[in-house]
Structure 1
Amino acid sequence: MPLYKTITPNSQTVVKMWKITESFDDLMAAVTLKPETLKRVLGMKSELHQRGFLSVRKLLAEFGYADADLIYDDNGKPHLKDGKQISITHSFNFSAVIVSDQVIGIDIEKQRDKITVIAHKFIGYEADYLDKEQSDYIKKLTTIWCVKESLYKLFATPGTSFKQCFLVIPFELQDEETMAWIDYETKKYRYLVQFFEFEGFVCAYAIGE
């Protein structure tokens, strides 16, 4: 499948998304991997995860990068050798990469009813405006999770709590953006986070200063 979508939030930032329709073998044949990356992908138990991982390498190529240009720090955060900021996500048959001169984070999640089972783990302040009886409750829960996950990737600080440290102010799905805060130790950080729905999924991306 060719590139699914390209978004340019600002002059310094580009988001590219891939819809994964290729087989594992086709994706493997289309990318060149470092030895450690090859070992990693062959060690994955899920073919869906393998295909998601490999599709990210296809997206890197769309940006003009190779697998060799991508490195991970001790916290598992990806970095590009040229100093550009990068964030990566994949969920089921979609993946996305955001590259920017600014600090960024991105997440994709499939909308599923089972998110209600873990809502208590990441919903804190937001419980004041969420309504379980509303028809868009699952979509809003999924969006809040995506927003918080994108902030977590942007902030890259181990030990931060989705429930306590990341706050998403009230929003409407049609707005496709919301303000969110990271409240960590003695500081507060404010972000405008973009989000959108597509094919039963939600994607959110946060861009720092």
Structure 2
Amino acid sequence: MPIIINKNIDQKVFWCLWKIEETEEELLVKTFEDETSFEHIKNKHNRLQTIASRVALKGLLDSLQIKYKGILKDEIGKPQLIDVGMSCSISHSKNYALVAVSKNSDNDAIGCDVEKIQARINRLLFRIATNDEIAFADANEVKGTKIWCIKEASYKAFGKLNIEYKSQIITHFKDNEPNQVIIKDVSENQNCYQLQFEQVEDTLLCFAFN
């Protein structure tokens, strides 16, 4: 199906959610990239998600009247738009592909994550969440998934290896809702990201941006 949501945040961050209902062949005709670009992805479902994310990214840039020329990935796998002075982030889960771009061209400007809301996430939070974050989740499946998404989106935005989720990605709250993340790297430098959330049916989207 076509794009189901196409939105912006403060005219700086633009994002698109695509619900994957097409076959691989149907998606390939929607992007200029040929199937050889995806041959290295052996898992069929992962390959379908990847192609869908490219189609969503092309559709998002088309809506901004920007020509999509493909993406490259840096040494840790962070996507970078070819010949476009914007940063981007990609996520997929189940039958959704989520893409986001930012007018801020810094490589650490935007991260996104899409996750199905699941109660089981709360059982795993102790591995990645601070006591304050676990207290916020309070065994609630939506809040627990929100914390999980925050960690993933912030990590993607920061774009560096060897960041420990629990001790270095810290959620800050306002009026008992997460609104900001501070990431400390090994040099004690701090990166601050604003947070934005959307819920679509049983799926949660999170955006971390500066």
Identity among equivalent positions (%) equals 25
Shift of 1:17: 1.1
Partner of 1:97: 99
- For residues 128-167 of structure 1, what are the structure 2 equivalents within 5 Å? 128-132=135-139, 137-167=140-170
Partner of 1:69: 70
Shift of 1:149: 0.9
Give the gaps of 5 or more residues in structure 1. none
Worse overlay, 113-122 or 12-21: 113-122
Choose the corresponding residue for 2:42, options 34, 41, 44. Answer: 44
Worse overlay, 95-104 or 163-172: 163-172
TM-score (norm 1): 0.85
Shift of 1:5: 0.4
Shift of 1:117: 3.5
Kept after mapping to 2: 8 A contact 1:191/1:206: yes
C-alpha distance in 2 between matches for 1:94 and 1:37 = 20
Pair 1:80-2:85 in alignment: no
- In structure 2, do the counterparts of structure 1 residues 183 and 72 end up closer, same or farther at CA, with 3 Å as the change threshold? same
Pair 1:107-2:113 in alignment: yes
What do you get for the CA RMSD once the two structures are aligned?
Answer: 2.1
Kept after mapping to 1: 8 A contact 2:197/2:207: yes
Kept after mapping to 2: 8 A contact 1:129/1:170: no
Worse overlay, 160-169 or 71-80: 160-169
- Tell me which stretches of 4 or more aligned residues in structure 1 moved more than 6 Å: none
- In structure 2, do the counterparts of structure 1 residues 28 and 138 end up closer, same or farther at CA, with 3 Å as the change threshold? same
Shift of 1:172: 7.2
Shift of 1:201: 0.8
Shift of 1:50: 2.0
| Secondary structure of 1:30 counterpart | coil
Worse overlay, 116-125 or 99-108: 116-125
Q: Deviations over 1:60-100 (max 9, x none)?
A: 2211344x521001110000122310100111111111111
C-alpha distance in 1 between matches for 2:35 and 2:20 = 23
Give the gaps of 5 or more residues in structure 2. none
Pair 1:10-2:10 in alignment: yes
TM-score (norm 2): 0.85
Choose the corresponding residue for 1:189, options 184, 188, 191. Answer: 191
C-alpha distance in 1 between matches for 2:207 and 2:72 = 21
Kept after mapping to 2: 8 A contact 1:13/1:99: yes
C-alpha distance in 1 between matches for 2:200 and 2:38 = 31
